[in-house]
Structures are given as structure tokens and as C-alpha cells.
Structure 1
Amino acid sequence: MADFKTLDDIDLTKKRVLVRADLNVPVANGKVTDATRIERLIPTLREIVKRDGKAIILSHFGRPKGEVNPEFSLEMVVPAVADALGHQVGFIATDWADVSAAQQAIEEAPAGSVLVMENTRFHPGEETNDTELAKRMASLGEIYVNDAFSAAHRAHASTEGVAHLLPAAAGRAMQEELRALEKGLGAPERPVIAIVGGAKVSTKLDLLGNLLKKVDALVIGGAMANTFLHAGGLSVGKSLAEKDLAETANTIRDRAEADHCAVILPIDATVAWHFEANAPHRFYGVEAMDPDGMILDVGPGSIERIKGAIDEAKTVVWNGPLGAFETEPFDKGTVEIAKYVAERTRKGLVVSVAGGGDTVSALAHAGVKDKFTYVSTAGGAFLEWMEGKPLPGVEALKG
């Protein structure tokens, strides 16, 4: 946390503060259906308002492809921001080609105002990190605060460019996220166990490679475990598996051994012959798989083995479900392990950090989304952090 400033290091009093938020929230019929990201923004906004500053919110929304498109206007998100904040919130329309009208509107707004600017992606320069666009954005404020970790992996004008033009700091949500991630992999309490699931090994090669060097044990679940089982010479029947990556899977296991990282694979599986809710199923040891079956979840033996590994850990980092959690009863492995981690977190036995789109949904399904030490709503940014990649939006706040 010492690498960059926070709100504690900057005087916000009566200042125009550009706040990079992530208002790219789900909307149906013109209304926000999940305000989690908005709620995490509120502490930063309240601090600015309390100091009679003006909070000028920048955010993208959807993919308007650099053109003004009313379908992607942030105006529809303003009521949800106002509801969460309990404070009137204004809206300033602009195509970002000329911000003179926006400058005037901000100047005329009273102290303590909260204003949402129009979608930053209405200008093509946003995603190309155009210098002139960044300058126009910077002209609207005196201080830049990034409170959008979920967009920090993008080097865009509003996430990276502006940060070099104004005094910059992390907002409260960004600060909290970075502190949690530091506890997860940066400087964790050991032993550290990582749980990685999902469908494909091919999408998580960088992730696995980075984790081998940082964790003491690696649980591999989901369909990606099938690839490792196949690589080990076991039959996976008609299960989803990337059989052409067998050599890659074996290389990962060899590297894990060299890095003294234990790889924990399923020892049994929940197998069905049709992928549908409540389909007939049986438990099979992985060495006795039915050639016509599909592995859709870990089995009871695997669940107990994973619990045993968690018992030895002080830190748990999780990305990806252990099975087809959206479809009962193939959610059992993910739900049981999620509840187990949550309970050990409640008892103060582990620090638990989780993130990634499917992971958040899986933990919500298990009813423990709010019972981990920290659950990141940042999909791509969380994954790139786990991969050990520098995040432009964070790097720009340093030094």
C-alpha cells in the first residue's frame, strides 16, 4: 500500500475530484439489477461530499465502439447511484470531443455535488488511451481517484492516461481490493492453497504458471481437471477435456514438483450420462470411469481430500468452480467447499480471497459471497492479477 497514495494522502476539500468508477453494471428494462459495484464506490463518494468537494464520475458502460449510442448511456445508471448514496446525483452528457459545456456545468455545480459523466467509450480515444482525450478528461478535475480495480487491467484514457496528468490516488474500494489481494498472494500467511476450476486449461495457463511459484498447494477442479486426469493416463469417458493439451498438463505437474507445490486432483467424480438438472448419476473413482459417462463434479472422496488440504492452509485463493455448479446436483462439490472455506474464515483460521465471474456466481449460489475475507467482482483484472501481470490502472498510481 505504500507504493501509491490513498484518500488519506490528498486534501479533497472543495476540490474537483475525477473518480474513475466501474458503472458497467447489469441493466434490464432500464434499471440496474445488481448494484454491487455501485455500493463499493459509495465510501469514496461520501468522503468527497463530506469535504465539500465535487465528485465527477468517469466510467465506461457496455461496448458502444467509440460512437455515441443512447442504448449505452450512463444516464440510466444515475438513479441507482443516487439511491445507494442517499444523495442527489447529476448527469452531464458529452461526446467527449468538446468538454467546454461539461466544464461549465461542473463549475456551476454547488460544493458537495456528485456528477456522472457520459460513457467514456462514446469516444474512440478511450480504448486507445488517446493523449488528447486524457487531457480533456483531466481538465474537468484537480485530483484523480481510481476506484475501479475491475477496469485496472486496461490502459485506457480514463484508467491510465488521466492518472499521469493529475495528482492521483486510490479510492477506498481500490485500496480495500489491493490490500485483500496482497494478503492473498502478495505477502500471504502460509501455507497458501489455491483452488482453480473452470472449463479449460488453455485459458488459465498463465494463471497456473504463476501460482506454482506462489502457493504451497494447488487444487484443480472443474472440466480442466479432466485434462490433467487424461494426461495421467486415466479415462475420462465422454467428459469435456482438452486432450491435445495432455503434454502441457504434464509439464505443469512437473514444474509443480520442482517448485514444491502439491497438485491436488480429483480422486473420484460425480458422473452422469446426460447433462441436465437432476440427471441420474453415480460416483466413480477416477481409475474406474464409465467410458460412456461424463464427469460433472468432484465426488465425495475428493471433497474430503480438499477439506483436508484447506485444514492445513492459512490462506485460500479461489478462482473457478469445481463442477457444473449451475445445474443440480452437480453443484455439490463447489457448494460444500465454499461453505467449508467460509466457516474457517468465520473462525479466523484462514484468509480467503476469491474472484472471477463464475466464482462470484458460484459463491453467491452457495450463499457465502459475503462470508469470505474478500470477494472481488473484477473479472479480467482479478485473473490478470492472479497471473502475476502488472495492471496499468494500478501501475499509474505509483510513484
Structure 2
Amino acid sequence: MLPTIRDLAIDGKSVFIRCDFNVPIDEFGNITDDRRIRAALPTIRYCIDRGCKVVLASHFERPEAGKFDERFSLEPVYRRLDTLLKIKEHLYFDDSKDPSVVSPRARELFGKMEEGDVLLLENLRFNAGETKDDPEFAGELAQFGEFYVNDAFGACHRKHASIHAITRYYDREHKAAGFLLTKEVNFFHKVLENPSRPFVAVVGGSKVSGKLEALNRLIGKVDKIIIGGGMAFTFLKAQGYEIGNSLVEEDLIDEARSIMYKAKKNNVKFYLPVDVVVASELSETATVKYLPTQEIPEGWMGLDVGPASTRLFREALNDAHTIMWNGPMGVYEIEKFAKGSIKMSHYIAESHATTIVGGGDTADVAARAGDVDEMTFVSTGGGASLKLIEGEELPGIVALTNGGES
């Protein structure tokens, strides 16, 4: 049983909350999508309302450890929190540019905090100890809270200091999951263990390798699988099609055949694109053709599913009661190769099914399509949600259920 923040006697205490503020930022330092910040607000406000001293910590991108880099600072997150929380002088940020994260300035700010105050630490990955699951760094972080709350579902599949090692400094009465983490875990568990049927999995993205275990497990769970994106070409080549210069994982062709065989054996309907958008190069100015999958010319590459495929996929979705979508249908970042992903988003949003969107790219597609509010649930964690689908235990979640050891 996953302990939740409601199980903790946090009133008037200091609380260290591990968040996932790894949000997209443009070249001017502006946050372009603040969903992950907004998703953490219920847990943060719950603590504020109980007179806690709240310390927030998160990673952001992959900076070089041991060096401060303005491009990876959490200052834009601090500014957005200032707008969203509306607590002004009660919100602090360690702006000392100290890559240790547990800087003298951070300790000073923590020391003068009063009930209801919030402190945001700098990017955890500035400190090399974060990604190394270093117990010493974890111990320094633990000094910022009498209680530990993990609300970073998107990072729970990683054994990092602020996710894993830090829990060794808290017993069962002093650590728990935040509202977001609890919601994510419960939702995926419910959908995977007792879905309303027909249950359809829509799986896209560039590579089969990253989703191999998920596909193998889904075959035993779903009624239909729809494959799109670059990963479709490994399956098409496994069927004997010529795919030109399209992305393919040669070493996984036998595995692709095995997955399709298992699907047939389990009476799972398996859908692949029947036509594709091809170009001679991956470019915004490239000339494109719409061709059946059997007719991809030598030297050309498939970069999106075609209109016949999207109609086929829509028909496959028509009777669905549960739809899980992870991965775009093409190179959606370029407009001329985004239509398949956008249409898939529309079809899923318009369905009467319970719809679950997993993965950052997939959520980005749904946002671009204007469909986020129509989806039942948009997960904040791509890698973590895939690990749950694969049936793996997430280190960050296991650590919350253990005593002082994890």
C-alpha cells in the first residue's frame, strides 16, 4: 500500500517535496508548457495550508555536474511558481548560483523560513551526487525537511539521490507520496489490472527498443494494438516490405516478428500503417509524397502515417472503452509530418473511451492539437509510465514503502 501525504502528521513541520519541474523552456528562458508545475500545486498548497515550511526540489534537463549553467537554472520555474502560488514574500529561491545545491545561501533561507513559507532549491543535477544516488548528498537534502514527500512520478524510475537514497533518512511515519504521484500510480494500476474493454493501446515514437517490454506485456492486456511512428518500420520490414531509408532497428526484426506472432496467438488485433508520408530528407522544405507502405522508394524515408492509415486507426478506435496512447505517429515537430499525430490526438479525444496519454512527446502532441482537456488523464511521466506498463517496480515508489532502508 502506497503511503500518501494525508497519512503524515505534517502540521507546522518542515517538508521536503521532490517535484518534477522538468518543463520545456524556449531560447528566451520562457516556460512553454507549465503542466508539470501546475500538477504539483495541490501537494504544495496542502502543506502551506497546514503551516508547513515547504522546500521544493527538482531536476531540469542534463547539465554538466559540478558547474552552474544559467541555461539549466530553475529560476524560470521560480518565476512561474510566484505567479501561480501568489504568496509573494513567502516564496524564496536560492539564487546564489552554487552548483552544490545545498549552498550556504539555501541553508540561510531555510533557517529564516516561517510557517507557510516555500523555498525552491536549484537544479538538483548541478550536484554530481544526484544522479549517482549519493547517500551523502541525500543526507544533506534530508536536512531541509522533517518529512519527505515524493511527488515526482516522472522521475520515480530512476535511482537518484533525491528519489531513492534520501528515503533512508526517513522512517515510514515520515515519508509518503504526494497527490500527483498517488494519482498516477493508482490510475495506471486500475487501468492495467481491470480495464473497461475493448482496451486499445496506441504506441508510437521512434524506436521499438525503448518500448519492447511494454509491447510484450500489453499483448496480454489489450484487445488491439496500433503501431505508428518510426518504430512501425521495423515491423513493416519484418513483414518483408522495402522501407527505403526509413528508421529501422535491424537487430530487432526477429523480436518484431515475435511480437506480431504473440498478438495473433492471443487474438489481439495488430494494426500497422497502410500508407505513409515520405520525403528524401528530414527537412521543413523537403518534397513529400503519400504512398502505400509497399511502395516506399529507395532513398526516401517515411516520416508520418498517411491519411488512409489515420482512417484505419480511427475505425479501430471506434468501439474502444479504454485507450492508452504513448508515442507520436511521426516527426510531429515539423508541421508537414505532424498531421498523423494531430489526427490521432483528435480521434482519441473525440472517443467515448477512458483515455490515458503517457509520455512528454505524446502530451505535447495533445497540447498542440488542443485536446488535453478532452483526455481523461495526461500522465506527467513518460519513462516512468512505460516502466509501470512493463510491470517493473519503480525505485522511487518502492523506497516509500520501506522502513529506513531502501
TM-score when normalising by structure 2: 0.87
Alignment pair present for 1:42 and 2:23? no
CA separation of 1:338/1:29 partners in 2, compared to 1, >3 Å: closer, same or farther? closer
Specify the SS of the correspondent of 1:159.
coil
Deviation of 1:270 (Å) = 3.5
1:8 match: 6
Q: What is the CA–CA distance in structure 1 between the aligned matches of 2:104 and 2:285, rounded to whole Å? A: 60
Specify the SS of the correspondent of 2:222.
coil
Q: Which moved more, 1:38-47 or 1:180-189?
A: 180-189
Specify the SS of the correspondent of 2:163.
helix
CA separation of 1:158/1:262 partners in 2, compared to 1, >3 Å: closer, same or farther? same
1:90 match: 92
2:113 match: 109
CA separation of 1:101/1:234 partners in 2, compared to 1, >3 Å: closer, same or farther? closer
CA separation of 1:67/1:269 partners in 2, compared to 1, >3 Å: closer, same or farther? closer
Deviation of 1:75 (Å) = 4.1
Alignment pair present for 1:140 and 2:138? no
Q: Percent identity?
A: 39
Q: Which moved more, 1:41-50 or 1:25-34?
A: 25-34
- Tell me if the contact between 2:225 and 2:269 (Cα under 8 Å) persists in the aligned partners: yes
Deviation of 1:157 (Å) = 1.4
Specify the SS of the correspondent of 2:302.
strand
1:385 match: 388
**Structure 1, gaps ≥5 residues long:** none
Specify the SS of the correspondent of 2:167.
helix
- Tell me if the contact between 2:204 and 2:229 (Cα under 8 Å) persists in the aligned partners: yes
- Compute the RMSD of aligned alpha carbons: 2.6
Q: What is the CA–CA distance in structure 2 between the aligned matches of 1:49 and 1:329, rounded to whole Å? A: 46
Q: Which moved more, 1:216-225 or 1:96-105?
A: 96-105
State how 1:290-305 maps to structure 2 within 5 Å.
290-291=297-298, 293-305=300-312
Specify the SS of the correspondent of 1:254.
helix
- Tell me if the contact between 1:298 and 1:322 (Cα under 8 Å) persists in the aligned partners: yes
CA separation of 1:12/1:292 partners in 2, compared to 1, >3 Å: closer, same or farther? same
Alignment pair present for 1:365 and 2:368? yes
Deviation of 1:53 (Å) = 0.8
1:57 match: 56
1:205 match: 212
Residue type at the aligned position of 2:15? V
Deviation of 1:61 (Å) = 2.9
CA separation of 1:312/1:227 partners in 2, compared to 1, >3 Å: closer, same or farther? same
State how 1:219-368 maps to structure 2 within 5 Å.
219-272=226-279, 275-277=282-284, 281-291=288-298, 293-344=300-351, 349-368=352-371
- Tell me if the contact between 2:19 and 2:56 (Cα under 8 Å) persists in the aligned partners: yes
Q: What is the CA–CA distance in structure 1 between the aligned matches of 2:30 and 2:297, rounded to whole Å? A: 48
- Tell me if the contact between 2:241 and 2:293 (Cα under 8 Å) persists in the aligned partners: yes
Alignment pair present for 1:81 and 2:81? yes
Deviation of 1:158 (Å) = 0.8
Specify the SS of the correspondent of 1:222.
coil
Q: What is the CA–CA distance in structure 2 between the aligned matches of 1:43 and 1:196, rounded to whole Å? A: 31
Q: What is the CA–CA distance in structure 1 between the aligned matches of 2:275 and 2:250, rounded to whole Å? A: 19
Q: Deviations over 1:268-301 (max 9, x none)?
A: 3344556544865554333455556543332333
1:170 match: 177
TM-score when normalising by structure 1: 0.88
CA separation of 1:25/1:207 partners in 2, compared to 1, >3 Å: closer, same or farther? same
**Structure 2, gaps ≥5 residues long:** none
CA separation of 1:273/1:48 partners in 2, compared to 1, >3 Å: closer, same or farther? same
1:374 match: 377
CA separation of 1:30/1:210 partners in 2, compared to 1, >3 Å: closer, same or farther? same
- Tell me if the contact between 2:19 and 2:57 (Cα under 8 Å) persists in the aligned partners: yes
Deviation of 1:267 (Å) = 2.5
Deviation of 1:313 (Å) = 1.9
Q: What is the CA–CA distance in structure 2 between the aligned matches of 1:253 and 1:355, rounded to whole Å? A: 23
Residue type at the aligned position of 2:393? P
Deviation of 1:125 (Å) = 2.1
2:187 match: 180
